[in-house]
Amino acid sequence: MVKRLPGARKAQAQLAGAPSGPTPPQGELRPVVYLPTWARWDEMRQRPQYMLSAFARAGHRVYFVDPREPNARHADGVNIVPSLGSVPGSHVILYVHFAPLAAMFGSFNDAVVVYDILDDLSIYDDDEVGMPEERRVRSHHSSVMESADVVVASAPELIATHQSERDDIMLVENGVEPERFGSVETSPENMAEIGNPIVGYHGAVARWFDFALMHGVVEAMPEAQFVVVGPVDGDAERSIGQLEALGNFHRLDPVPSDEIPEYVAAFDVGLVPFVVDDLTRAVSPLKMYEYLAAGVPVVATPLPVCVAHPLVETASTVDAFVDAVRSAIVVRDSEAFISAADAAADAASWDSRVDVVRSRLSEQGQLRVPS
């Protein structure tokens, strides 16, 4: 689930110039371009950033355009640039998950569009209240679905929703960088001070967080310490405060994406406590894969993707959730679980996810610059 930041859509209007970087040579892998959205490279790293890094590891030049960046820089194999001036104007792959960016496609010659559907489109509805129709996601979605060269979705429920629009839509579930989450040797000092066992959650806390369930679980488990690491939506502040009042619930400030693996490694259990509704049924939680890559057992509400995963325990009532968490604490250090979690993380690597997209592009003769 991709969290948007306040005022994010203004980023597109701030973009200056036109793509005028050097034309890639014939036969070279097409460069991959991420056009500006609300996303920052170092904040709340999610599926788009991980997909782009995997493209870079596969040998593509990758550009992440963000007008808020003061200068061009290089991170995780990706060129992070403040304008289109550094980006090739032809023979690129545009990796797109926000349909209104279609207005910028015409700036490129011979662009290949990969449209990635990350969430149910209703996730944008609250942000679009009072917005002119021509700026709404749904106003652009159909045309992008029709014109994109490759369309992928992150969960089976999204495939079912959109298959009638594109019968060649492909499932590319979320994934993980096993080496990032599986090789942590240090623990943050503020986590060591909390005590054990730690039942943790990392990510945004917003309307999809099941506060009623978590209040019951935290209250029923005084022997455990519950930790949330990540930004809290303004509408959720009151509910988070009520959890903190219980005494064994701790809200930590957001930390840079590169530090998240250290926090996850300190968890004894990782949670995905989402309300199950029409929006979240289509979610493929990134954190589920990240917990497992860190060797942390996962307890979740019965989201379809979580129910389908053999290593994830799901529960929908307070009593069942408490039982699942207590069982997971015991499992945490078992050799059988650790071995199975490592295998699951390797199978879900972002490199393997991007290989699915690259194979389709290759089949269509669109992976490389034409000769």
Q: Could you read off the pLDDT of 151-186 as tens digits, one per residue?
A: 999 999 999 999 999 999 999 999 999 999 988 878
What counts of helices (H) and strands (E) characterise the chain?
14, 14
What's the pTM value of the predicted model, to 2 decimals?
A: 0.90
Residue 16 shares a structural domain with residue 161:
yes
> How many CB atoms neighbour CB 238 within 10 A?
9
Residue 59 per-residue DSSP state:
T
Q: Residue 240 domain-assigned? A: yes
Residue 329 shares a structural domain with residue 235:
yes
270: enclosing H helix or E strand: strand 269-272
Pair of tokens at residue 142 = 């159909």
Residue 248 per-residue DSSP state:
S
Residue 229 per-residue DSSP state:
E
> How many CB atoms neighbour CB 332 within 10 A?
15
Q: Residue 371 domain-assigned? A: no
Q: Residue 368 domain-assigned? A: no
- Please state, in angstroms and as integers, the Cα–Cα distance from residue 98 to each residue in 9, 18, 136, 219, following that order: 10, 19, 10, 40
Contact 302, 276 (CB under 8 A): yes
Residue 147 shares a structural domain with residue 254:
no
Confidence (pLDDT) at 2: 55
- Please state, in angstroms and as integers, the Cα–Cα distance from residue 95 to each residue in 47, 148, 183, 349, following that order: 12, 10, 29, 19
Residue 186 shares a structural domain with residue 152:
no
The SS3 call for residue 175 is coil
Confidence (pLDDT) at 135: 72
Residue 202 shares a structural domain with residue 327:
yes
Residue 338 shares a structural domain with residue 191:
yes
Residue 28 shares a structural domain with residue 94:
yes
Confidence (pLDDT) at 15: 53
Q: Residue 2 domain-assigned? A: no
Number of domains in the chain: 2
Contact 145, 166 (CB under 8 A): yes
Contact 291, 264 (CB under 8 A): yes
Residue 232 shares a structural domain with residue 298:
yes
Q: Is the dihedral of CA 335, 337, 340, 341 positive or negative?
A: negative
Q: Residue 370 domain-assigned? A: no
DSSP H helical ranges for 90-182:
137-147, 156-162, 178-181
Q: What residues of the chain score a pLDDT lower than 50?
A: 3-14
Residue 48 shares a structural domain with residue 126:
yes
Residue 64 shares a structural domain with residue 186:
no
CATH code: domain of residue 153:
3.40.50.2000
The CA distance from 46 to 173, in Å, is 13
Residue 153 shares a structural domain with residue 67:
yes
Confidence (pLDDT) at 16: 53
Residue 88 shares a structural domain with residue 105:
yes
| Range of the structural domain that residue 191 is part of | 178-347
Q: Residue 28 domain-assigned? A: yes
Contact 214, 242 (CB under 8 A): no
The CA distance from 84 to 66, in Å, is 9
The CA distance from 102 to 224, in Å, is 48
Q: Residue 3 domain-assigned? A: no
Pair of tokens at residue 125 = 């509805």
The CA distance from 62 to 57, in Å, is 10
Q: Read out DSSP for 68-110?
A: T-SS-EEETTEEEESSGGGSBSBS-EEEES-GGGGGGGGGSBS
